């Protein structure tokens, strides 16, 4: 079975759980940066262990949207490019958001390692 049909089978076999998870996700209006930048995300996509380490490189103590806005874009993007596989913050934020949505939609669904 190829990965396309395996993914389709996973979705069809768990459609009720995925739909319930989608409703919960839809009800959540805002997801903060500290929720998006999980330790797993950071360890998989950066040479750092935590978001706290990333923000500390910019001299920030708090992980939130306001802090990101206060960090000069040039400095922040330089830190992102140096310590991650991303070329800028927007790219990293987008990937973190996608990872979050995927994890929330598939919460409680056993995903085979071939599809992870």
Quickly state the pLDDT bin for 116 (edges 50, 70, 90).
Answer: low
Angstrom distance (rounded) from CA 23 to CA 5:
25
Residue 108 has what DSSP assignment?
Answer: T
| Nearest residue to 51 via CA among 65, 35, 66, 27 | 35
Q: Is 116 within the bounds of a domain?
A: no
Sheet strands (E) in 13-78: none
**What's the domain count of the chain?**
1
Residue 108: the pLDDT is 79
Q: Is 93 within the bounds of a domain?
A: yes
Q: Is 115 within the bounds of a domain?
A: no
Angstrom distance (rounded) from CA 48 to CA 45:
8
Q: Is 54 within the bounds of a domain?
A: yes
Find the domain containing 49 and state its range: 3-109
Q: Is 114 within the bounds of a domain?
A: no
pLDDT tens digit sequence for 47-103: 999 999 999 999 999 999 999 999 999 999 999 999 999 999 999 999 999 999 888
């Amino acid at each position: 079975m190829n990965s396309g049909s395996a993914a389709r089978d996973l979705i069809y076999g768990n459609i009720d759980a995925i739909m319930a998870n989608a409703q919960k996700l839809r009800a959540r209006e805002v997801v903060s940066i500290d929720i998006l930048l999980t330790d797993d995300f950071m360890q998989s996509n950066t040479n750092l262990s935590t978001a706290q380490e990333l923000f500390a490189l910019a001299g920030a103590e708090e992980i939130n949207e306001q802090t990101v806005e206060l960090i000069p874009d040039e400095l922040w993007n330089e830190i992102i490019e140096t310590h991650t596989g991303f070329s800028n913050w927007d790219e990293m934020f987008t990937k973190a958001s996608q990872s979050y949505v995927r994890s929330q939609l598939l919460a409680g669904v056993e995903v085979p390692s071939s599809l992870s």
